[in-house]
Amino acid sequence: MKSLCLRLSFLFLFLVLFNPFAVFSFFSPTDLTLAQTVEKKSTAPLFLKYQNHDGDYLIFYDADGDILYLRYRRDKWDYSHDRERDFLRRGITYELRVVNLEKLSEGELPKGVMGADLPAPSRTRKIRRIRSVFKAEWGGVSDSALRDLRY
């Protein structure tokens, strides 16, 4: 009996550690990624995970690892959406309604983000896939924490 429990625990550990779908477990297979949304020019809400905020932008990411900079205030004196920003938690999926979604060129960051005005490096090394960067304007953010329990 003890041997069977030990084998089952190793099997469970193996399945958890080497699950190829573990990264995508909280994203629905039908959710559009940022690249698909720009390509199709869709106005459907996006389901993205919150990462952090930087300057006037909230940072979200999708299942492909692409990053969205969502501008939530016009300047540093605009406090209209700070309450919503304070209730966002890292790693939680949120439903976003965005306006003017566009893809930025490689190495470009939106104005107002830390490091946006730095000159480009003279030589770039591509060790891994460079994530695409998108920017958009605030259209609304709402909780969709129940999606995390479902997927």
Using alpha carbons, list the distances in angstroms from residue 12 to 1, 17, 22: 17, 9, 14
What pLDDT digit, counting tens, does each position of 3-60 carry?
A: 655 555 555 545 544 544 444 445 677 788 888 889 898 888 899 999 998 888 899 9
Could you give the CA distance from residue 139 to residue 137 in angstroms, rounded to a whole number?
6
Q: So what's the pLDDT on residue 63?
A: 86
Domains of the chain: 33-110+129-151 (2.40.50.110)
Residue 146: strand, helix, or coil:
helix
pLDDT band of residue 108 (cuts 50, 70, 90) is confident
pLDDT > 70: percent of the chain? 66
Nearest alpha-carbon partner for 135 in 54, 63, 69, 47 = 69
pTM for the complete prediction? 0.71
